[in-house]
Structure 1
Amino acid sequence: MKRVETNQDWSLMCPNECPGLDEVWGEEFEKLYESYEKQGRVRKVVKAQQLWYAIIESQTETGTPYMLYKDSCNRKSNQQNLGTIKCSNLCTEIVEYTSKDEVAVCNLASLALNMYVTSEHTYDFKKLAEVTKVIVRNLNKIIDINYYPVPEACLSNKRHRPIGIGVQGLADAFILMRYPFESAEAQLLNKQIFETIYYGALEASCDLAKEYGPYETYEGSPVSKGILQYDMWNVTPTDLWDWKLLKEKIAKYGIRNSLLIAPMPTASTAQILGNNESIEPYTSNIYTRRVLSGEFQIVNPHLLKDLTERGLWHEKMKNQIIACNGSVQSIPEIPDDLKQLYKTVWEISQKTVLKMAAERGAFIDQSQSLNIHIAEPNYGKLTSMHFYGWKQ
């Protein structure tokens, strides 16, 4: 990224001739990489921006490759005492240590965030923390009793005990609270939800450590030194929870799990509960779902309810929304407050989406699966978006 920014060259090397690059990150990587360049161990030199253009071109056409930053993943990982984290899973929310003897395992569960909105349009953080604690206990039980197809997976899972708590229905929660996705209220709620989940998960993991002892490789980890995820981001939490008290408790007992939070895509589980996926805004307010029994038109249930209550739902309205590709912005009969509330992802600033990802990121100790939607992508837009995300 630095060399793309400064329009420098990028050297392509053979890992057999230039060993060890996968074992280091940050300044150590740069030092080793540059030493190989000076020694002339380079197979080919290309302009960094030329390589970057190939990445952007591929993303424009296919949506891939998915991108993560190795330095950030390692610098902010609670597993950094184990060694260098070299890879993620496909969806990029799981970043765990692997080695010749260990295959990383992700033990996942997701919370339906819409379920904690009360009838008075307030958010029940206390209940969210309680359910998070139940999930932590359940996932720890799974680690203990699970069937492992290979011994390397069993060894890794029982030594480090990583879990990944994710979410679904964030967009649904915002709608139920009557917060447009880009509003200041939604941005604060986004932060407080993940602060609550991280707090609840840490507290439950600490309670389990008090009962069974901390995980095997706890000593030397950032948490064992009193450094939590938000400390590594240089972020101060809101005053929703007593972090000082929790840190004192952790210093005394440790925690049972090396990793706790990992918002996954929830592509299938969100369908079961009828929620919008993960941390994503709605992509459309009306769409067709194809299943074995046929094709069905699905309408955003919140929009359907709001339009019905206001006497605005009828065949003509349905056809208008379909004609507008699931958008309600250009339909005159729909009031402005509903237009704000039911913006699709194509109508929401992707800079805000990235900003919200960074704000919740301070309470996510693995990573998060995040999609960016740009209706008319080009080299400039995608480059600007990537560099904004990188600098966050």
Structure 2
Amino acid sequence: MSSDLITPLDAPHFDHSHDDDDVETLDNTALSHYAVIRRNGQLTAFDANKIAMAMTKAFLEVEGYSATRSTRIKHTVKSLTEQVVQKLMAQVSTHQKIHIETIQDQVELALMAAGEHKVARAYVLYREQHAKIRAATAQKPLIHVKNARGEILPLDEPKIAQRVAQACRDLSDVDVDVIMQASFRNLYDGIAEEDINQVLIMAARTLIESEPNYSYVAARLLLDDLRRETFTQIHIGIAEEITADMMNEYYVDYFQAYIHYGIERELLDPRLAEYDLTQLAACIKPERDLQFTYLGLQTLYDRYFLHWDQVRFELPQAFFMRVAMGLALNESQREQRTLEFYDLLSHFDFMSSTPTLFNSGTLRPQLSSCFLTTIPDDLEGIFGAIRDNALLQKWAGGLGNDWTPVRGMGSLIKGTNGQSQGIVPFMKVANDTLIAVNQGGKRKGSGCAYLETWHIDIEEFLELRKNTGDERRRTHDMNTANWIPDLFMERVHLDQEWTLFSPHEVPDLHERYGDDFKIAYTQYEQMAAEGKIRLSKKVSAVGLWRKMLTMLFETGHPWITFKDPCNIRNPQQHVGVVHSSNLCTEITLNTKANEEIAVCNLGSINLVAHINEQGQLDEEKLARTVQIAMRMLDNVIDINYYSVSTAQTANLRHRPVGLGLMGFQDALYRLRLPYASEAAIEFADYSMEFISYQAIYTSTLLAEERGCYSTFKGSLWSQGILPIDSLQLLAQSRGHYLSLSLAQRLDWNGLRERVKTVGMRNSNCMAIAPTATISNICGVSQSIEPAFQNLFVKSNLSGEFTVINSWLVADLKKLGIWDDVMVNDLKYFDGHLASIARIPDDMKRLYQTAFEIESSYLIEAAARRQKWLDQAQSLNLYMAQPAGRKLDSLYKLAWIRGLKTTYYLRTLGATHVEKSTVNLPNYQQPMETLMSPNSCNLDGGECEACQ
């Protein structure tokens, strides 16, 4: 065996005569497609037994021959070897290569993490000693490259260095030589030419934790691959390798060829060819390709760009132009509107939701984000609703299902004279449908089931996500949410009893809210007491509330959402009832079983892009962005492909849209405002008021141009009751159970009169969605979320990505304390600054992360936004050390502040954090475990069907 392939402790003075007898042989079958890069550039098969042998010899060196006979040592070696293999496999994908040094790094880390410090120290010393020997004597390995024609040629280092230099141009604090050195560690003799760029990308990726600008380097190297792939696929007669500098020259020819190529393969709408493609191509901004972070571009590459036979043929600016063209198809001035839309998207001022980005300009333009349905109480209706779910999610829609009308367990079925099994068996079928229909193969199906708190099956509903119990009564892939009337919350406050009913005996409760609900509910309670209702059950309201919170903590579900504020403040209460929210709890629209499936069309403003250099909200720019964005969203309604007719009916009647925002945390950084501050709460209020004003005003402009939506008459809008005014309606219903500032800055009187006189184009205008994916594309913080951590590894369907807070790094650079020690500190303390002495206190406060911020600040900021929203917001709540009393206070505060909905409760739990490059011996105290929130079951922690 070459010493290059085994432990550096394989020194000549060791007696290895007993090694093979003392090391348990491991099965390498599952590892057969992995290879190890030796230091001379040659490849050899991956063999886990060599790792086990290395560790055994390490113990032998420290503890002597008897160590190999120890049962404990054998068990330790086997366990640590398995850990090392798992770590290595997580770092590379199938058929990739692993450098010998990477393997030895993981062995060293595993020994340290296991507390085998003496063994690890000997291992480290031997590695250092032999590294010096190799540095003095070794020659650079000769690497040969296999090109596309099968020719074997020497590696062209100057050409590679030039490519890296172009990727680094105009970026500060990045080093071409550092990337080249890191790349050579993963180059091997006989490497395919097309794989070299992947090695460069991986090298740049590993450096992101020490310098955020390496994320842009990695993205630009990925662009090199994408251009090569695209031009090869489309065949527009360009033989040379195209660089970023050359795209100004080539984009015109490419863009026209790209449109025709997509149409010929029946991927793009033939009407796109009717545009003036020369004019549009001339207005493309190739330099905007360079604004992507690696996470953003890789996400687009993996899941958004059009491809044929798994080969991409869509470049980023063509992608944005295609989306813009698709949204302008019905415009009279198509090219002008297309360029307006393109400029907004490509400049990251606003981003349409994922379904719009997926499908705009294609033959199946399903552009809407969310669909809300009510499940009827009959077998045909239930399975018809599940069929509708399948059709809607096939085209990338997120689902919110209202299950309240379905009769409860034990209720009479007249047709068969039998007893109902309740909602759970049907929800299990709906859950399995989410798995079977995976949104066209692009991402997992996603839905949320809602149930009102008075339903007789509520206690079983609360347990649907438990990991114990009868699996036939569990829905592990479906989100769940409580739809809670105000009367229940009042009973909780007063510690009174609560009565559960089956909806077929009290059918009007589903359609009632506010005072009407209270009157009807208390009447039904009296009837139950008199024996006039067959199926009912009395429970303690406090006991049921506690069980809700317990399940929320244990399983992350069901979420807490409030029926009455959603309905009392609903602009469309004259034509229906809001029976649930959507998948991500930000949509509050009417639904009617068998008649209307509510649809919402989403997009989000990048708030930080509207903070000017003077540290102020750029109101002029923001007003323009809102006006263009609202037009884009309104266009979605008419262009959209509807797979279910009841969805088309509802969308065309009411024309709701949901304009939201993202980058709120980044905006606070730019304004130098800590999230946990009164100033941040005031900014949340002020910024949302301005967006609300402009969104409503723009809808009146669209109404003047295109006409009002058909059910405008009788709406709150038609009465001059705007979202800020509807709070008074909630106050009248709630009494002292509502406490919220009603302060306002803008002149709303003129807008009220305009709305009453001119009308509205859209029944609803605003909703703040999670933006899990589109914020990655734009390289900004997600939605209204506080920073999760200042340094962490993000996992999604595109892989694992190092995410570091570039705002923090910039500040640390100004102080002259951004160095390797600081990187080590951030990794060791899981991105938290509190224990890092060198960082000033004011900076620690500014860069507090989600679990360091008092949860009430999240509620207070959300309440200020909710004043101005005609729908709701996806509000995650974070709690580092949850306890029953804390949860009780937090969710009661959410209700008292008038919030319509909440989303995930994120609590701390052990996770798999990678600390492989932390210099652990420098830290004497016990190593803390990295903690992360309970994650959504979708997309590795991202609930992203909406955005």
3-state SS, counterpart of residue 376 of structure 1: coil
Match of 1:151 among 622, 630, 645: 645
Equivalent residues of 1:230, 1:237 under 8 A apart: no
Q: CA deviation at 1:216?
A: 0.3
Counterpart Cα distance in 1 of 2:591 and 2:682:
35
Counterpart Cα distance in 1 of 2:863 and 2:614:
29
Equivalent residues of 1:103, 1:152 under 8 A apart: yes
Equivalent residues of 1:102, 1:152 under 8 A apart: yes
Moved more, 119-128 or 21-30: 119-128
Match for residue 34 of structure 1? 522
Give the residue type in structure 2 aligned to 1:59.
Answer: L
Counterpart Cα distance in 2 of 1:296 and 1:18:
51
Q: CA deviation at 1:122?
A: 1.7
Deviations 1:133-185 (A, max 9, x none): 11111111111111111111111001000000111110000001111112333
Match for residue 698 of structure 2? 204
Deviations 1:282-311 (A, max 9, x none): 011110123677644321111111112222
Equivalent residues of 1:195, 1:237 under 8 A apart: no
Give the residue type in structure 1 aligned to 2:836.
Answer: I
Give the residue type in structure 2 aligned to 1:335.
Answer: P
Give the residue type in structure 1 aligned to 2:816.
Answer: G
TM-score (norm 2): 0.41
Deviations 1:338-372 (A, max 9, x none): 11110111111211210111111111110111011
Counterpart Cα distance in 2 of 1:289 and 1:53:
33
Deviations 1:95-133 (A, max 9, x none): 100113111001000011110111121221221121011
Instruction: Find out whether 1:45 has 2:538 as its counterpart.
Output: yes
Match for residue 851 of structure 2? 346
Match of 2:572 among 62, 79, 83: 79
3-state SS, counterpart of residue 287 of structure 1: strand
Instruction: Find out whether 1:238 has 2:744 as its counterpart.
Output: yes
Give the residue type in structure 1 aligned to 2:515.
Answer: E
Give the residue type in structure 1 aligned to 2:589.
Answer: E
Equivalent residues of 2:573, 2:715 under 8 A apart: yes
Length, aligned pairs only = 391
Counterpart Cα distance in 1 of 2:850 and 2:795:
22
When the two chains are superposed, the root-mean-square deviation of aligned CA atoms in Å is 1.5
3-state SS, counterpart of residue 81 of structure 1: helix
Match for residue 88 of structure 1? 581
3-state SS, counterpart of residue 387 of structure 1: helix
3-state SS, counterpart of residue 388 of structure 1: helix
Counterpart Cα distance in 1 of 2:554 and 2:580:
24
Match of 1:330 among 827, 835, 846: 835
1:230-309 map, 5 Å:
230-234=724-728, 236-239=742-745, 241-290=746-795, 295-309=800-814
Counterpart Cα distance in 2 of 1:317 and 1:38:
67
Cα pair distance change 1:162/1:288, threshold 3 Å: same
Equivalent residues of 2:668, 2:675 under 8 A apart: yes
Moved more, 363-372 or 311-320: 311-320
Match of 1:69 among 562, 566, 574: 562
Equivalent residues of 1:213, 1:253 under 8 A apart: no
Equivalent residues of 2:852, 2:880 under 8 A apart: no
Counterpart Cα distance in 2 of 1:340 and 1:376:
19
Equivalent residues of 2:608, 2:664 under 8 A apart: yes
Q: CA deviation at 1:236?
A: 4.5
Equivalent residues of 1:187, 1:356 under 8 A apart: yes
Match of 1:160 among 651, 654, 665: 654
Cα pair distance change 1:338/1:228, threshold 3 Å: same
Cα pair distance change 1:236/1:44, threshold 3 Å: closer
Counterpart Cα distance in 2 of 1:356 and 1:84:
27
Give the residue type in structure 2 aligned to 1:301.
Answer: S
Match for residue 13 of structure 1? 501
Equivalent residues of 1:264, 1:369 under 8 A apart: yes
Instruction: Find out whether 1:113 has 2:607 as its counterpart.
Output: yes
Moved more, 306-315 or 51-60: 306-315
Deviations 1:215-264 (A, max 9, x none): 1000111111011000112465533x332222222222111000011001
Counterpart Cα distance in 1 of 2:681 and 2:492:
31
Instruction: Find out whether 1:355 has 2:860 as its counterpart.
Output: yes
Moved more, 288-297 or 254-263: 288-297
Counterpart Cα distance in 2 of 1:202 and 1:208:
10
Aligned-residue identity in percent: 39
Equivalent residues of 2:680, 2:861 under 8 A apart: no
Give the residue type in structure 2 aligned to 1:262.
Answer: A
Equivalent residues of 1:161, 1:215 under 8 A apart: yes
Give the residue type in structure 1 aligned to 2:847.
Answer: Y
Counterpart Cα distance in 1 of 2:597 and 2:572:
14
Counterpart Cα distance in 2 of 1:125 and 1:330:
39
3-state SS, counterpart of residue 167 of structure 1: strand
3-state SS, counterpart of residue 627 of structure 2: helix
Counterpart Cα distance in 1 of 2:797 and 2:590:
40
Counterpart Cα distance in 1 of 2:862 and 2:758:
31
Give the residue type in structure 1 aligned to 2:849.
Answer: T
Please, which runs of 5 or more residues in structure 2 have no aligned partner?
A: 1-488, 729-740, 898-947
Counterpart Cα distance in 1 of 2:579 and 2:798:
43
Cα pair distance change 1:52/1:293, threshold 3 Å: closer
Cα pair distance change 1:253/1:26, threshold 3 Å: same
The structure whose Rg is larger is: 2
Match for residue 622 of structure 2? 128
Equivalent residues of 2:677, 2:857 under 8 A apart: no
Give the residue type in structure 2 aligned to 1:133.
Answer: Q
1:373-384 map, 5 Å:
373-384=878-889
Cα pair distance change 1:378/1:291, threshold 3 Å: closer
Match for residue 22 of structure 1? 510
Moved more, 144-153 or 303-312: 303-312
Moved more, 277-286 or 229-238: 229-238
3-state SS, counterpart of residue 877 of structure 2: coil
Counterpart Cα distance in 2 of 1:385 and 1:95:
22
Counterpart Cα distance in 1 of 2:799 and 2:687:
37
3-state SS, counterpart of residue 763 of structure 2: coil
Deviations 1:44-66 (A, max 9, x none): 21111111111111111122211
Instruction: Find out whether 1:191 has 2:723 as its counterpart.
Output: no
Counterpart Cα distance in 2 of 1:211 and 1:76:
27
Counterpart Cα distance in 2 of 1:252 and 1:191:
27
3-state SS, counterpart of residue 68 of structure 1: strand
Cα pair distance change 1:186/1:159, threshold 3 Å: same
3-state SS, counterpart of residue 794 of structure 2: strand
Please, which runs of 5 or more residues in structure 1 have no aligned partner?
A: none
Match for residue 717 of structure 2? 223
Deviations 1:17-39 (A, max 9, x none): 22211010111111111111111
3-state SS, counterpart of residue 67 of structure 1: strand
Deviations 1:177-219 (A, max 9, x none): 1111123332222111111111111111001111222110001
Q: Which has the higher contact order (CA 8 A, sep 6+)?
A: 1
Moved more, 43-52 or 217-226: 43-52
